[in-house]
Amino acid sequence: MGMTDNLLPTSQWLITLVLFALILVRALRVIDWQALRRDNALQHSLFGAAVVLGFLWQLRAGISPGLAIHVFGITVVTLMLGWALAVVAGLLALVITVITGREPLLMFAANGLITVMVPALVSHAIMLWERKRNFRNFFAYIFFCGFFGAGIAVAAAGLVMCLLLWTSGVYEFHELVHEYIRYLPLFMIPEGFVNGTLVTGLMVFHPDRLTTLDQRRYR
């Protein structure tokens, strides 16, 4: 996240807008809206996650435009709500950052794609991989989906952002390597720690809040 006004050319802006719209439409079609209306706890998780992310994303660091560093937190939200509702929660959080002036409205689609959709889909894919492997120890869910999943998700989002900035001619590849890519492993550690710790706490005290957790599978 951190795309500023006029950072991307019109062609790149349109590409991100189309991808953003396609993923958003798919997410809205996947959501079981009737179940959401009936489940107060799920509603609280959805809006609570949006508010927490909205304020968490106010805290960031970075010098060059478009290369901001901050904790995403999307992985734990994806494991709590599923990827589709995580996209909705993340976009609501992004609205908060726009209202507070931290992000420009013009770059909403680009920031939503990078900060919300890419990490949510990557986290979902890792969760499906863990489920397909049929691990019987619940630590597999914590470590693969929580700790490692979050690190991989933020790395994927960072690489997509760098790809956009490189192909649009905003930065040379060596600049991106020097200012961002070589630091990605350092970004992955706190992201994995924060998300993994939250997943562990939820699994111990409120496993019912993790809608992607199949408790029958673990011994």
Angle at 45 between CA 40 and CA 50, to 5 degrees: 130
Better-predicted residue by pLDDT, 215 or 219: 215
Matching residue, tokens 């890519």: 181
Comparison of pLDDT for 69 and 130, the residue scoring more? 130
**Cβ-contact 119, 26 below 8 angstroms:** no
Q: In the structure, what pLDDT confidence band is assigned to residue 65 with cuts at 50, 70 and 90?
A: low
pLDDT at 4: 64
Global pTM reads 0.93
More confident site: 82 or 204: 82
d(Cα 173, Cα 175) in Å, to the nearest integer?
5
* Confidence at residue 132, expressed as pLDDT on a 0 to 100 scale: 92
Mean of all residue pLDDT scores within the chain: 90
Does pLDDT of 196 surpass 90?
A: yes
Q: 10-217: what CATH class?
A: mainly alpha
Residue 76 confidence (pLDDT): 97
Q: Which residues of 80-96 are buried (b: 16+ CB within 10 A; e: fewer)?
A: bbbbbbbbbbbbbbbbb
| Per-residue tokens: 165 | 């900035």
Instruction: Read off the pLDDT of residues 25-54 as tens digits, 9 standing for 90 and up.
Output: 999 999 999 999 999 999 999 999 999 999
Q: Which of 10-14, 174-178, 197-201 is most confident? A: 197-201
Euclidean distance between CA atoms 158 and 191, whole angstroms: 12
Q: State the pLDDT at residue 104.
A: 86
Extents of the domains making up the chain: 10-217
